Chain A
Amino acid sequence: LAKTTQPISMDSYEGQEVNITCSHNNIATNDYITWYQQFPSQGPRFIIQGYKTKVTNEVASLFIPADRKSSTLSLPRVSLSDTAVYYCLVGAAGYSSASKIIFGSGTRLSIRP
């Protein structure tokens, strides 16, 4: 199983770029990397997913180095509303992997004015 390690918490200020790194040393060849965001008393919300190099969407970028043993979620110009817990997940495609999903404890991001 590909376990992930993230910082427990991070602080930043409005308007800054925030980078959250996730370590996944045992990532397998067919594993994808997915990030979710969770606000208090809500279910997680999908942010971004990638396999290698860089992926960008309207809310974030995901950087994955060539060895894929880590990944970095980048949030540009954060606002107070980005205060949340961010989870990094690693897993393979295919329903046979359904039992292997691991969310971990996530990174608690706090944004200050």
Chain B
Amino acid sequence: ETGVTQSPTHLIKTRGQQVTLRCSSQSGHNTVSWYQQALGQGPQFIFQYYREEENGRGNFPPRFSGLQFPNYSSELNVNALELDDSALYLCASSPRRDSPSTDTQYFGPGTRLTVL
């Protein structure tokens, strides 16, 4: 069974640029959630996708957007990058549509984004 994978592992961008991060869900999972984790902080929920539709959103501006594809893989897009966007971005998949606070979520290793 293949776990959750994310790409790239590390990324360096400059302010104002756009970035796309990718996630492949664990086999059989139809729900994916994205989180931002700043250094020394807990993960902050960005949004969740279920069957290609946004299923819930945290307190993040519209320049954070996402997609989920028919094979349940997912992308996180961030436009107009700011210095504070520097963080570890985590993707988590789960096997059913439910609140991420009660689903067992399976996290990927994350993408470390640095904005200069």
Contact = CB atoms under 8 A, between A and B. Distances in A.
Contacts of A43: 4, 90-92, 107-110
B109 A97 contact: no
Given A44-B43, A103-B43, A92 B110 contact: no
Interface residues of A, number: 29
Contacts of A94: 98-99
A80 interface: no
B41 interface: yes
B65 interface: no
A13 interface: no
A29 B84 CA distance: 36
A95 B107 contact: no
Interface of A is mostly: mixed
A105 B38 CA distance: 10
Contacts of A90: 101
B48 interface: yes
A42 B106 CA distance: 11
Given A43-B90, A92-B99, A92-B101, A98 B55 contact: yes
Given A95-B99, A99-B58, A46 B45 contact: no
B100 A93 contact: no
Contact of B42 (A41, A49, A87, A97): A87
B72 to A, nearest CB: 16
B1 to A, nearest CB: 15
Contacts of B98: 93-95
Interface of B: 4, 33, 35, 40-45, 48, 50, 55-58, 88, 90-92, 97-102, 104-110
The 7 A-B pairs of least Cβ separation, nearest first, read: A91-B101, A98-B56, A43-B107, A103-B42, A97-B99, A99-B56, A101-B101
10 contacts: A32-B102, A43-B107, A43-B110, A46-B106, A87-B43, A93-B101, A96-B56, A99-B58, A100-B99, A103-B42
Interface of A: 31-32, 34, 41-46, 49, 87, 89-106
